């Protein structure tokens, strides 16, 4: 294994992959920002929890995202829910995107069901073993994928919270022609896998809970995650 400059070839490939994935996500966020004019509305919600961001010398157990911007867009049986602090371009703000992969399936399950967002390998396994088993990515059978961005709290950061894990619940979900209200909650965890050092130091991470309640307003077709 090449360890020139104290950096293994495995870590080099990992960082390259994650940088590309981060760039793709930011292009997605930029495209989604075009929904602002057509798909925003009044709503209520909150995202809170703990964050550890070494790049910004930030370790906070009482983090509050102070969201006041709610957007959603439906396309081909998927629903993209965006919760953000202010209506700025996402590259200047904090926010979270919850992509429901199968609206009909989630709606049919009922509002009392708690859905899991799983990643493979699991975050617990990753914390213990690092990249031995690969980079945690949203499982193919998960009903949703979730991404976190903290560009307001940590400007110019290199974070890649592209695949969160946890649970969510939707007591109301948008159904074309039937239901406009979107109401739910979640408990999620995020880790940037590029900075794992040991089980005790697994890099930037966040544990967040949230709740939201707003009405869907039609916007342009959403772009799904690549």
Instruction: Tell me the pLDDT tens digit for each residue of 15-45.
Output: 544 544 554 444 444 444 444 434 455 799 9
Mean pLDDT of the chain: 84
pLDDT-based confidence at 218, cuts 50/70/90? Answer: low
Q: How many CA atoms lie within 13 A of 155 on its CB side?
A: 3
Better-predicted residue by pLDDT, 47 or 223:
47
Q: For 144-148, what is the mean pLDDT?
A: 98
The answer to whether the beta carbons of residues 186 and 166 sit under 8 Å apart is: yes
pLDDT-based confidence at 92, cuts 50/70/90? Answer: very high
Sheet of 40-41: strand order equals 40-41, 69-75, 78-84, 94-100, 144-150
DSSP assignment of the chain, as one string? ---GGG--HHHHHHHHHHHHHHHHHHHHHHHHGGGHHHHEE-EEEEEEEEEEEGGGTEEEEEEE----EEEEEEETTEEEEEEESSSS-GGGSEEEEEEES-HHHHHHH-TTPEEEE-EES-HHHHHHHGGGG---EE-TT-SEEEEEEETTTSTT----B-S-EEEEEEEE--BTTTB-EEEEEEEEEEE-GGG--BTTB--SEEEEEEEEEEE----SPPPPP-
Q: For 188-215, what is the mean pLDDT?
A: 96
The answer to whether the beta carbons of residues 145 and 43 sit under 8 Å apart is: no
User: Picking from 35-39, 156-160, 186-190, which range would have the lowest pLDDT averaged per residue?
Assistant: 35-39
Q: For 102-114, what is the mean pLDDT?
A: 95
Mark residue 110 as left, alpha or beta (left: phi above 0; alpha: psi -120 to 50; beta: remaining): left
The answer to whether the beta carbons of residues 91 and 25 sit under 8 Å apart is: no
pLDDT-based confidence at 225, cuts 50/70/90? Answer: very low
pLDDT-based confidence at 1, cuts 50/70/90? Answer: very low
CA-based nearest residue to 146, from 120, 122, 164? 164
Give the pLDDT of residue 32: 47
User: Picking from 29-38, 62-71, 168-177, 206-215, which range would have the lowest pLDDT averaged per residue?
Assistant: 29-38
Q: How far apart are CA 159 and CA 53, in angstroms?
A: 9
């Amino acid at each position: 294994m090449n360890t020139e400059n104290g950096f293994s070839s495995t870590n080099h490939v990992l960082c390259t992959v994650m940088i590309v994935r981060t760039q793709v996500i930011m292009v997605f966020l930029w495209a989604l920002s075009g929904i602002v004019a057509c798909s925003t509305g009044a709503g209520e919600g909150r995202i809170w929890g703990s964050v550890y961001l070494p790049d910004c010398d930030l370790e906070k157990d009482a983090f509050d995202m102070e969201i006041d911007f709610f957007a959603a867009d439906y396309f081909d049986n998927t629903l993209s829910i965006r919760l953000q602090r202010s209506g700025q371009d996402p590259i200047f703000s904090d926010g979270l995107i919850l992509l429901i992969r199968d609206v009909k399936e989630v709606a049919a399950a009922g509002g009392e069901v708690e859905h899991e967002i799983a990643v493979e390998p699991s975050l617990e396994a990753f914390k213990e073993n690092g990249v031995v088993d690969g980079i945690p990515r949203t499982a193919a059978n998960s009903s949703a994928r979730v991404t976190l961005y903290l560009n307001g709290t940590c400007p110019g950061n290199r974070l890649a919270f592209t695949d969160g894990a946890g649970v969510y619940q939707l007591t109301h979900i948008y159904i074309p022609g039937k239901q406009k209200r979107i109401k739910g909650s979640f408990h999620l965890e995020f880790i940037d896998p590029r900075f794992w050092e040991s089980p005790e130091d697994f890099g930037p991470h966040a544990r967040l809970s949230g709740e939201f309640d707003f009405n869907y307003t039609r916007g342009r077709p959403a772009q799904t995650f690549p």
